[in-house]
Chain A
Amino acid sequence: MEIAFFIITALLTIGAAVAMVLSHNAVHSALWLVLNFFGVAVLYLLLNAPFLAMVQITVYAGAIMVLFLFVIMLLGSEQGQEEVNGLPWQTPVALVMGLLLVVMAGYALFFPGTPVPTTQTPNEIGAPDILARKLFSTYLLPFEITSVLLLVALIGAVVLTMKSREGDRV
């Protein structure tokens, strides 16, 4: 039952990802990506990590994709223009990277090496209470660094937008 549900969800998620890549309209791509996020969130739920699932939806689908949509819609760049490729070196690099990923995934699949100790208690990160305790003991430093990272993002946004403040429209 759970396996069947997993397979359906996984297929839907992959399907959404493929549709996202193949869409010509950038807004449609964004919508497919949102669907993909939902699929991933359901997969998190199946892994008994409800907190992560909710964060996945709130942050990715609810915040980051909204930002993407803003950029796409406000720049009017959704009609995938058939222009000359501005980044000619991009295609070969992308091909090499993609190939590398496939090779690595294949390697991991066929030569499992030392198996990662599969945690018998998937609940370890599941419940918010347990997560909080981990966050404020084992993962304290990464947690504090996150705030610096967020600060940098905010300052970057301010600096970039303030520069182009001249010539306001609408």
Chain B
Amino acid sequence: MNIWVRLITLLFVSLILFLATTTAFAYLTLFERRILARLQNRVGPNRAGPGGFFQPLADALKLFFKEEITPAQADKAVYTIAPALAMIPAIVLFAVIPFGAYLDLSFLLGEAARYVPIQLADVNVGVLFLLAVTSIGVYGVTLGGWSSNNKYSMLGGIRAAAQMVSYELALGLSILVAIMLTTTPTTQEAANASLCSLMFGQQPVAEISALSTCRIVESQGGWWNIFKPTGLLAFGIFWLASTAEVVRAPFDLVEAEQELVGGFNTEYSSMKFALFFMAEYIKLIAISAIGVVLFLGGWRGPGVDLLYSLGYPNVAGLVSLGYFLLKLIAFLFFSIWVRATLPRFKYNQLMDLGWKRLLPISLGLVAVTAVFAVVTQDMNPYIAGLFGGFRR
């Protein structure tokens, strides 16, 4: 594909992505507060604008005009960059997420824009990229806690780091199962004809890997990973581990207000606090989007392929984007629902769940997935597709 077309789309997509993430963040907070209120028989914020529509705006403005207090004892440099360090990885995660299939912009930008992916970039180590970026998300919280020079913050930061690190293992292993269920083309012809090659350019077949996020969605054309027996279990583990990774209820011990005040962000105020807050929600959106891509079939849904084959690529592209967003909202709603329902864990329960339950279970699941894939390898393709991405 033409590099200029890619650059122009890149600029547009980046701009849209930034606007979308900030808006999504703002309205996720409102969404959460309204839903929590409903679930607890309250009304929730409904005064600012119709149905509380301007509430996020009011919150943002308030935080902008608040005085910022930097504790005299704090390590100034680290204290300042910590919120940014929390924020940056959360945003960068969006770089390889496929939000939809493709659009046909050839009427605008010429023949080179026949397949414009609704995804910023696709690399053959995409999932590892996501893991790498997630793994450095620890720094913002830990350093924020350390640099404040406050006992509550310090303890909150250390707790957060130990928790994130413990659940990263189960997270990585559950993602691994999704990769094992992914099928990639074996022959060069099949590779060249595949959707991802149309969107991102052709590659030698040996360089195509199941780690590419585009390929993962593409291979879920039949069964979504969540409909496969091992995939469903892996999704459960992924959900638990990702909730712990973004330190949300019931895993939000980091900000256990009875014991640690606000946890790592006790000393933060004004815009720096807002950034931490924002990072938390953007990370939640990002990790939910990863879950949608890996297990819920990404942008796939009934009718998308049909619309493409009927020759309405733009309608199909928008519909695919719609499916993705719908799944994402469902995922987020579930997360909020759980927050309203479950009480907080104790720290020993948290560590037990991570190390003594999820880690062994997910290791076993990886082994079981491999065995299933080998056993069903030569069976009818329908069954083989259900148990492994083994057929190549």
Q: CB within 8 Å of A: which of B167-185?
A: 168
Q: CB within 8 Å of A: which of B18-67?
A: none
A70-B158, A74-B158 known; A57+B135 contact, CB < 8 A: yes
Contacts of B155 in A (CB 8 A): 170
A57-B136, A127-B124 known; A27+B207 contact, CB < 8 A: no
* A127, B128: Cα distance in complex, Å: 12
Contacts of A55 in B (CB 8 A): 128
Interface string of B112-150 (1 = CB under 8 A from A): 000000000001110011011111101100110011000
* A31, B87: Cα distance in complex, Å: 16
* A20, B7: Cα distance in complex, Å: 36
Contact of B128 among A27, A51, A66 (CB under 8 A): A51
B161 interface hit (Cβ, 8 Å): yes
A69 interface hit (Cβ, 8 Å): yes
Contacts of A156 in B (CB 8 A): none
A34 interface hit (Cβ, 8 Å): yes
Contacts of B206 in A (CB 8 A): 127, 129-130
Contact of B132 among A54, A70, A127, A128 (CB under 8 A): A54
A57-B135, A58-B132, A126-B207 known; A73+B125 contact, CB < 8 A: no
A50 interface hit (Cβ, 8 Å): yes
B305 interface hit (Cβ, 8 Å): no
* A70, B209: Cα distance in complex, Å: 35
Size category of the binding interface on chain B: 20 to 34
* A25, B123: Cα distance in complex, Å: 37
Contacts of A127 in B (CB 8 A): 124, 206-209
* A34, B132: Cα distance in complex, Å: 13
- Please tell me the number of chain A residues within 8 Å of chain B, measured between CB atoms: 27
Contact of A58 among B135, B158, B211 (CB under 8 A): B135
* A123, B132: Cα distance in complex, Å: 21
Q: How far is the CB of A46 from chain B (nearest CB, A)?
A: 14
Q: How far is the CB of B123 from chain A (nearest CB, A)?
A: 6
Chain B minimum-CB-distance residue to A170: B155
A62 interface hit (Cβ, 8 Å): yes
Chain B minimum-CB-distance residue to A56: B132
Q: A61–B207 contact, CB under 8 A? A: no
A63 interface hit (Cβ, 8 Å): yes
Contacts of A27 in B (CB 8 A): 75, 78, 143, 146-147
B353 interface hit (Cβ, 8 Å): no
* A69, B136: Cα distance in complex, Å: 12
Interface string of A91-130 (1 = CB under 8 A from B): 0000000000000000000000000000000010011111
* A70, B139: Cα distance in complex, Å: 11
Contact of A128 among B131, B147, B204, B209 (CB under 8 A): B209
Q: B207–A58 contact, CB under 8 A? A: no
* A31, B124: Cα distance in complex, Å: 29
Contact of A129 among B135, B136, B208 (CB under 8 A): B208
Q: How far is the CB of A122 from chain B (nearest CB, A)?
A: 12
Contacts of A61 in B (CB 8 A): 132, 135-136
* A123, B208: Cα distance in complex, Å: 12
B307 interface hit (Cβ, 8 Å): no
Q: A28–B158 contact, CB under 8 A? A: no
Q: B158–A128 contact, CB under 8 A? A: no
Q: How far is the CB of B208 from chain A (nearest CB, A)?
A: 7
B165 interface hit (Cβ, 8 Å): yes
* A126, B154: Cα distance in complex, Å: 40
* A63, B139: Cα distance in complex, Å: 11
* A63, B169: Cα distance in complex, Å: 11
Q: B125–A66 contact, CB under 8 A? A: no
Q: How far is the CB of B133 from chain A (nearest CB, A)?
A: 8
Chain A minimum-CB-distance residue to B85: A31
Contacts of A73 in B (CB 8 A): 142, 146, 154, 158
Contacts of A69 in B (CB 8 A): 139, 142-143, 161
Chain A minimum-CB-distance residue to B123: A50
B77 interface hit (Cβ, 8 Å): yes
Q: A57–B165 contact, CB under 8 A? A: no
Contacts of A63 in B (CB 8 A): 135, 165
Q: How far is the CB of B205 from chain A (nearest CB, A)?
A: 9
* A57, B132: Cα distance in complex, Å: 6
Q: A50–B161 contact, CB under 8 A? A: no
Contacts of B209 in A (CB 8 A): 127-129
Q: CB within 8 Å of B: which of A123-151?
A: 123, 126-130
Instruction: Show 19 A/B contacts (Cβ-Cβ < 8 Å), sorted by A.
Output: A27-B146, A31-B143, A34-B139, A51-B125, A54-B128, A57-B135, A58-B128, A58-B132, A62-B136, A63-B135, A63-B165, A69-B143, A70-B158, A73-B154, A73-B158, A74-B158, A128-B124, A128-B125, A128-B128
Q: Which B residues fall within an 8 A CB radius of A? A: 75, 77-78, 123-125, 128-129, 131-136, 138-139, 142-143, 146-147, 154-155, 158, 161, 165, 168, 204, 206-209, 211
**Could you list 14 further interchain pairs (A-B, Cβ under 8 angstroms) beyond the known A25-B75, A73-B142, A127-B207?**
A31-B143, A50-B125, A54-B125, A54-B128, A54-B131, A54-B132, A62-B136, A66-B161, A69-B139, A69-B142, A74-B158, A126-B207, A128-B124, A130-B207
